[in-house]
Amino acid sequence: MLKKVVIIGPESTGKSTLAENLAGYFGCLWVPEFAREYLEKLGRPYTYDDLLRIAKGQVDLENELTLKSKELLVCDTDLNVIKVWSKHKYAKVHPWIENQIKTRKYDLYLFTDIDIPWQDDPQREHPDPTMRKYFFDLYQKILHESGVHFALVSGNEEERKQLSIDLIQEKLI
SS3 120: coil
pLDDT tens, position by position, 32-78: 999 989 998 998 989 999 999 999 999 999 999 999 999 999 999 99
Residue 139 has a pLDDT of 95
User: 126: pLDDT confidence band, cut at 50, 70 and 90?
Assistant: low
Dist. CA 113–CA 19, nearest whole Å: 14
User: 161: pLDDT confidence band, cut at 50, 70 and 90?
Assistant: very high
CB 111 within 8 A of CB 140: yes
SS3 111: strand
User: 125: pLDDT confidence band, cut at 50, 70 and 90?
Assistant: low
Q: What integer best gives the mean pLDDT of the chain?
A: 93
Q: Classify domain 3-171 by CATH number.
A: 3.40.50.300
> Rounded to 10 degrees, what is the CA torsion of 159, 108, 93, 48?
50
Residue 127 has a pLDDT of 64
What amino acid occupies position 75? C
Residue 22 has a pLDDT of 98
What amino acid occupies position 141? K
Whole-structure pTM value = 0.93
pLDDT tops 60 at residue 141: yes
SS3 14: coil
In DSSP terms, which residues pair with 5 in a beta bridge?
74, 108
E strand map for 15-166? 29-31, 72-75, 108-112, 150-153
Residue 119 has a pLDDT of 72
Element (H, E) at 125: none
pLDDT tens, position by position, 110-123: 999 999 877 766 55
11 or 9, which is more confident? 9
